[in-house]
A and B are shown apart, each in its own frame.
Chain A
Amino acid sequence: MTERLAPADDRVPAIPPLFRLQWEDAQQSYVLLFPEGMIKLNRSGGEILRRCDGRLTQGAVIAELNTAFAQDVGADVRAFLALATDKGWVTWRPAGATP
């Protein structure tokens, strides 16, 4: 079961099947593709969303990005994922539940 709830660090974000995330050379960015549209992501948006693979918890995503960016990006990640949840780009499930 997936749900759309407020993001929490022990929950697992994933991109729902309606969307596809992919790297576009021509645009030098990640894009999120969905019926009738496409969103070009900035660098941090792309780095966050490509970790929303249905396995990492939000906490684990933050930990990876803290390392990658060599600073504490927790607040930014939580804010971005809250927005992404609103837009329907990510859904959530409890850690340990099967996708």
Chain B
Amino acid sequence: MSTQATPATITPPLWLLAELTYTCPLHCVFCSNPVDFATHRNELSTDEWIRVLTEARALGAVQLGFSGGEPLTRDDLETLVAEARRLGYYSNLITSGVGLTEARIRRLKDAGLDHIQLSFQDSTRELNDFLSHTRTFDLKRRTAALIRAHGFPMVLNCVIHRLNIDHIGRIIDLAVEIGAEYLELANAQYYGWALLNRDHLIPTREQVATAQDVVARARERIGDKLRILLVIPDYFERRPKRCMNGWGSVFLTVCPDGTALPCQAARVLPDMQYPSVRRSSVREIWYESSAFNRFRGDDWMTEPCRSCPEKQMDLGGCRCQAYLLTGNANAADPVCDKSPQHGIVTAAVAAGGTSPPGRPLIFRTPDESRRLAATPPPIGSGVS
């Protein structure tokens, strides 16, 4: 133990992300699900989820996201929503909209769902046709109208990458037209499938600058009836983000099979024994498990973070990104320009705009997942 370490004070979890299933009708190239999702089976039952919701709520969790995969593929979603409402959660359905019928949305409303986050993705391989692909476009529009008609606040979420970033203006217009309250334009985060596809997805500096400009002008024009959030990839920054507001500080993710994670991406870290809600209570998981304590405080840090005056601000950045890019989970997030491995990030940015020849986009399908699980790509500068 280092003498200068700050002891970790454990704050209660406030956000619970319930990943109900990895089943999904779509095959997004930027999906944050683990690459080997198809090898994870054995979803939690309704009763097990109710126990998780009850225990997390008792610890103080209040924001609840139902996600996946596509959570609508679980036919007990209404039951879980009703239970969440009874327990006092503010609940959010994070959905692609596929499967959200009139009957279903009415039942979800009656069960007490608070809001819906509709994601815009494209299920087709013609990604450059992003918004003009009429079938998807119409489905999303119909779904949005349904969400409005039932009085749900609507967050529209669009994952941004090189192939659609130039359409941001049209995406904003669409959000206004369908009456969304929030529009999240979040750049693909390079984990999971998005890391596999990173060299196709990372935008150029010029694209990012233009997008920021378009958003600034739209904000002036539209005012506050639509709140627009633009998240640019942290590869373009000089300091990493304060990932998840700190490991085990606010967020708790429970995976379809009951594995509990401090962050959706955290499964990639090596030598971690993640606890499962099947074997431990949420209280034990949050306060006592070695996995949730692993990166609390700053005792785990190595140089340059350990002696860095800024360490309380960004907490050394994202552990998963540090591991995926440097092979060392305790290293500084290489987004930081103080990191000796910062060159990996600048090289990826510099290469932006040139899709690697002979390496097609990899779609998130069960077949690809099984193939990749059998031959995991090497750790290091993304995929080679």
Of A18, A22, A35, A36, which is in contact with the most chain B CB atoms at under 10 Å from its CB?
Answer: A35
- With A18-B181, A20-B90, A20-B114: A31-B155 Cβ-Cβ less than 8 Å: no
Would B62 and A38 count as touching, CB distance under 8 A? yes
Within 8 A of A (CB), among B193-246: 224, 229
| Interface flag for A84 (CB, 8 Å) | no
Closest to A23 in B: B88
Chain A residues within an 8 Å CB radius of B88:
22
Q: Report yes or no: B224 in contact with A88, Cβ–Cβ below 8 A.
A: yes
Contact between chains at A36 and B14 (CB < 8 Å): no
Within residues 18 to 37 of chain A, which ones have a CB less than 8 A from any CB in chain B?
18, 20, 22, 24-27, 31, 33-36
Question: Whole-angstrom distance between the alpha carbons of A27 and B153 in the complex?
Answer: 25
- B62 near A36 with CB under 8 A, answer no
Q: If the complex has contacts A20-B90, A22-B88, are A35 and B62 also in contact, measured as CB distance less than 8 A? A: no
User: Of B60, B114, B155, which is in contact with the most chain A CB atoms at under 10 Å from its CB?
Assistant: B114
In the complex, the answer to whether B12 meets A26 with C-beta atoms within 8 Å is yes
In the assembled complex, which residues on chain B have CB atoms less than 8 Å from the CB atom of A38? 14, 62-63, 90
> In the bound complex, how far is the Cα of B117 from the Cα of A26, in angstroms?
26
Residues in A whose Cβ lies below 8 Å from that of B151: 17
Are A31 and B62 in touch, CB under 8 angstroms?
Answer: yes
* Chain B residues with CB under 8 A of A31: 62
**Interface positions of B from 101 to 122, Cβ below 8 Å from A:** 114-115, 117
| A26–B88 alpha-carbon span in the complex (Å) | 12
Q: Within 8 Å CB of A88, what residues of B? A: 224
Closest chain B CB from A28 CB (angstroms) = 10
CB contacts (< 8 Å) of A26 on chain B: these are 12, 59-60, 62
Closest chain B residue to A37 by CB distance?
B63
Q: How far is the CA of A94 from the CA of B212 in the complex (A)?
A: 39
Taking a contact as CB atoms under 8 Å apart, the answer to whether A33 and B62 are in contact is: yes
- Can you list 27 contacts pairing A with B, beta carbon distance less than 8 Å? A18-B115, A18-B153, A18-B181, A20-B114, A22-B88, A24-B60, A25-B60, A26-B59, A26-B60, A26-B62, A27-B60, A31-B62, A33-B62, A33-B90, A33-B114, A34-B90, A34-B153, A35-B153, A35-B155, A35-B181, A35-B182, A36-B155, A36-B182, A36-B184, A38-B14, A38-B62, A38-B90
Please name 12 further chain A to chain B contacts, defined as beta carbons within 8 Å, in addition to the given A35-B117, A38-B62, sorted by A numbering.
Answer: A17-B153, A18-B153, A18-B181, A25-B60, A27-B60, A33-B114, A34-B90, A35-B115, A36-B155, A36-B182, A38-B14, A38-B63
